[in-house]
Structure 1
Amino acid sequence: MSSADPPQPPFALRRFDATAMLLCAIVGLDTLGSVAARGPQGLIWMAVLGLLYFAPYGLLIAELGSAFPQEGGPYVWTKLAFGRFTAGINQVFYWISNPVWLGGSLCVTAIATFESFFFPLPGGWKYLAGAVFIGAAGLAVHASVRSGRWVPIAGAVARIALLGFFVVSLVLYALRHGVHPPAAGDYTPTYLGLVALAPVIAFNYMGFEVPSAAAGEMADPKRDVPAALLRGGLLSALLYGVPIFGTLLVLPSEQVGSLTGFIDACRAVFTVYGGHIGADGTVVLTGAGSVLAMVAAAGLIIGLLTSGTAWAMGVSRAQAVACADGAGPRWLGVISARRGTPTRVNLISTGIAALVMVASLALSGGDAQKYFTAGIGLAISATAISYLLTFSSFIVLRRKYPHVSRPYRIPGGQVGAWTVTVLTVGTMLFAVVALIWPGLGVGWFGTSGDPAGYLPTGFEGQRAAYTATQLVPVVLIISLGCLLYALGARHRRTIASAAFTTQPDRGAFVETH
């Protein structure tokens, strides 16, 4: 190692680890059904948003992550651009979305998968299953970097193996039973489809910055982050498009549910190994079909678990960095010297996820689909709100720090920089508004359609109730951010008010006992 090389942590994450973390963060298996449920035009809008949002988003993060490689990633970038208070509030949105997602849609989907492939979970057994799921995620995030790196690796392998096996099974199913390809006209993109799909597709594409949030654990973030983004981005697009297309080939669009769509498609294609589909569409698996389906179900649950843990590894560190910097109480900024993880933030995150899980099962009244739609909506909106400032910080940092070395730089000068900023910020703004007010623009200016028809499943005719599930938490998150900032006042008085330097820094206090 030359004297010019950046100091490395005791055990450093490598490019392969960053790519695995990226795959787990971006490829969220809980939302495959949500896109497939909107029919073939979902694939078209995925391609369009892939070009207009996913690609610019990757380019933007590649430059930010390589130019400002401090641990804490999004918090650091936002602080340098807009100051500590704004960055602190923004970071709380980014952080809190993870336990809401983990205890909400990820846990609900995992339980639905278990019940679909193994056996029903009556009464309190659902709570026990949810506790095991969240507890496993908490233990994985709490583990040392040396051990914890295997979690996203296992998740990446599980995704590739599961989706690869699904494709092979789909081919065998098509040869034996044929498929039902959608009509060509069904692929025509419409504005109504965009309004319904933009938030969930944008959420599918989120996660490029997660490795940067743990940049302090990486061997060479300036080189590894851009390389991981390129590899992970291409693999993610493939791992999303193929199973969604396969689901639409196997199941009629009217039978695809946003919660269980991909699960139902898996059950259908696994009948080629043993089982049959009844005249009423009921799937019965037997013999090898039943065994292989259970193996695939275990892989799906692992994929869901590692989605939450990969995100948590990034967002928890970013929150610890924010608190260590004075945007919260000092004790939340402690990093365990033995494990190299933000133990206290992780414990709080696990507790929040457990509360969300209990609330989801207690308040859904048995309607898992209703809570799934509300929970996934809140997770998307919280993350998207935080991205509004994170993406905006890019153009500000170009102006404030023009002389900082940028190993990767978006081509096109200021025109290129403004283009990716407008595309990414604009997409997030549209997603947030479309989530808070489903059916945005439908029926306006004399056009056809009823906005009420775009309320999520389970909230038909209940716009006020659904809007409350999105706006009330936003107010609570802002209040929590302000409270944490107030609790950090004493700590801020003890540290320098200067901005972070542009040299790699772990960014958080390390426990010495």
Structure 2
Amino acid sequence: MAKQDEESRHARRFGLPVATALVMGNIIGGGIFLLPASVAPFGTISLLAFGVLTVGAIALALVFGRLAKRLPHTGGPYVYARAAFGDFAGFLAAWSYWITAWVSNAALAVAAVGYLDVLIPLHDNKAVTLAAALIIQWLPALANFAGTRYVGAVQLVATVLKFAPLLLVAVGGLFFFDADNLGPFQASDQSAIGAVSASAAILLFSYLGVESAAVSAGEVRDPARNVGRATVLGTIGAAVVYLLGTLAVFGTVPHDKLVDSGAPFTDAVNAMFGGTWGGSLVACAALISMLGALNGWTLLSAQTPYAAARDGLFPAVFARKRRGVPTVGVAVTVVLASLLTVYNYTAGSKGVFEALVLITTFTATVPYLLATAAQIYFLASGRSELVSRARLARDGVLAVLAFGFSMWLVAGSGYAAVYQGVLFLFAGVLVYAFMAARRKARQAEAEAEAALAEPVSA
């Protein structure tokens, strides 16, 4: 009894505010601090691409909300794909999502070290830099080991702290806005459609994480109600920050300078208030942002394998929970991410590391495609609790729009990333074959034992 009380004290379900912070914190990692400079070469037409992507991301968020109401269980896309299409589709969703999580965690930690170097000069010392990257990975893991109560607290605090400076630029920048800084509407030689697609190929990765509340539905209080709300509110909140922040930077930093900027938000703060203190402010915001994202992604990286393990599709050890957290999944994820980080720093394989990170942009969309296809299946097969035809039609349109958005994500990953990502998925097929065989053997043993236990009739 005492142990149960201890577990409940550290394992607390997330309410709507924390679930919303989880979504916003995972969507907004460190990319926001580089996005304005990344799309500046295309001109202000990139803001149009941002708008299109926002519509797609909100559609995807609404679909996840509907699916979570139907199946309010931990696992998110894995649960939806398995319910609609069976074990193999569910496993592919879980496997690809897991790959995305731990490779992305390594990338976030490496990127965070770059901002840490602004605050505490590391002097290009490879050993010190590696140690810093590993510490940045393990701190959020320790918060996860402490229990969901602490995960939620860290996520809420990190989200509030990182949004303060972001909103300073996003809102304050509007008061310093100068239309002459915007530059041309279309700065590249491409057609309007080509410029929108090209800028979208950079921007579309910024919305990964809309599924965060759905994946952790089992840890959300009243998931049938709160998961959908948190997903939509978190996505809209992130979209507002993205759009206002990018617009403010465009309007405060001259276009010719922004194109070559390595720290656009720093340049915006310096232009707004003068001085050079903006670099430290943005570095702090970026570091907090990435720690918050790592905190949330570390939990998510363990939740999908946990759900799959409970169904016999992942090793059973992943189904163990302590203080509300699948601690084995957290440990395996942080170890794999740490090994990848060590490889990156010691082998000097920058190109290989960046290729792996790009692969995650493909592997992240596999669960999206399967989840939205599951919603289309539920609606088309009559497995809907909705009685209103208008509501049914609206959900169908949203599901098709979200599916198209997910396909756009795949296309934006690039041919090389899709090719290599498919190889990662095929490697998972071998794991599935092994787990399915073990599961079948256990079922056969159970059936044999049950047959022997039956009384023999006279």
Band of TM-score, shorter chain: 0.7 to 0.9
Aligned: 1:358 with 2:342: yes
Match of residue 235 from structure 1: 237
Return 5+ residue gaps in structure 1 as ranges: 1-7, 276-284, 438-466, 497-513
- The CA deviation at 1:302 is 1.4
**Partner deviation per Cα, 1:204-227 (whole Å, 9 max, x = no partner):** 223222112111112201111222
Q: Kindly tell me: are residues 403 and 388 of structure 1, through their superposed partners in 2, closer, same or farther at Cα, counting changes over 3 Å?
A: closer
Q: 1:84 to 1:164 in 2, by over 3 A?
A: same
Question: Do residues 183 (structure 1) and 184 (structure 2) align?
Answer: yes
Instruction: Quickly say closer, same or farther: Cα 1:111–1:343, change in 2 above 3 A.
Output: same
Name the aligned partner's letter for residue 65 of structure 2.
A
Q: Distance in 2 between matches of 1:82 and 1:355?
A: 34
> Percent of counterpart pairs with the same letter?
21
Matched residue, 2:51? 47
> Could you give the per-residue CA deviations for residues 155-203 of structure 1, whole angstroms, max 9, x where no partner exists?
210232120233466467x48x997222344599823234333344332
Matched, 1:421 2:399: yes
Whether the 8 Å CA contact 1:141–1:148 is kept in 2: the answer is yes
4+ residue stretches of structure 1 with deviation over 6 A? none
Distance 2:48 2:335 in 1: 39
1:402 alignment counterpart: 383
Q: Measure the CA separation in 2 of the matches of 1:178 and 1:116.
A: 31
TM-score (norm 1): 0.75
User: Which residue identity lines up with residue 425 of structure 1 in the other structure?
Assistant: F
Q: Which whole-Å CA distance do the structure 1 matches of 2:256 and 2:139 have between them?
A: 35
User: 1:511 matched to which residue of 2?
Assistant: none
Question: How far apart are the structure 2 equivalents of 1:146 and 1:205?
Answer: 26
Contact 2:301 2:329 in 1 (8 A): no
Q: Is the 8 A contact 2:253 2:267 kept in 1?
A: no
Counterpart in 1 of 2:438? 490
Of residues 366, 370, 394 in structure 2, which corresponds to 1:389?
A: 370
**Number of residue pairs matched?**
431
CA shift in 2, pair 1:311/1:197, >3 Å = farther
Do the aligned partners of residues 489 and 333 (structure 1) sit closer, same or farther apart at CA in structure 2, a change above 3 Å counting?
Answer: farther
**Correspondences of 1:136-215 after superposition (within 5 Å):** 136-167=139-170, 170=173, 174=176, 180-186=181-187, 190-215=192-217
Aligned to 2:106: 103
Structure 2 residue aligned with 1:246, among 245, 248, 254? 248
Deviation at residue 471 of structure 1 after TM alignment: 2.8
Corresponding residue for residue 423 of structure 2: 475
**SS, match of residue 208 in structure 2:** coil
**Counterparts of 2:199 and 2:441 in 1: how far apart (Å)?**
46
Helix, strand or coil: the match of 1:327?
coil
- Contact 2:265–2:282 (CA<8 Å) still a contact in 1? no
- Structure 1 pair 110–267 and aligned structure 2 pair: CA distance change class (3 A): farther
Letter in 2 for 1:49: L
- Distance (whole Å) between structure 1 residues aligned to residue 219 and residue 264 of structure 2: 39
CA gap 1:272/1:232 in 2 versus in 1, 3 angstroms: closer
More helix by share: 2
Tell me the SS of whatever aligns to 2:73: coil
Within 5 Å, give how 1:3-18 maps onto structure 2: 11-18=12-19
Say if 1:495 and 1:393 are closer, same or farther in 2 by CA, change over 3 A.
farther
Flag the 1:34–1:374 CA change in 2: closer, same or farther, 3 A.
farther
Q: What residue number does 2:20 align with?
A: 19
RMSD: 3.2
- Counterpart position of 1:80: 83
Distance in 2 separating the partners of 1:343 and 1:274: 47
Q: Is the Cα contact below 8 Å between 1:14 and 1:218 reproduced in 2?
A: yes
Deviation of the 1:32 alpha carbon: 4.6
Structure 2 residue aligned with 1:313: 299
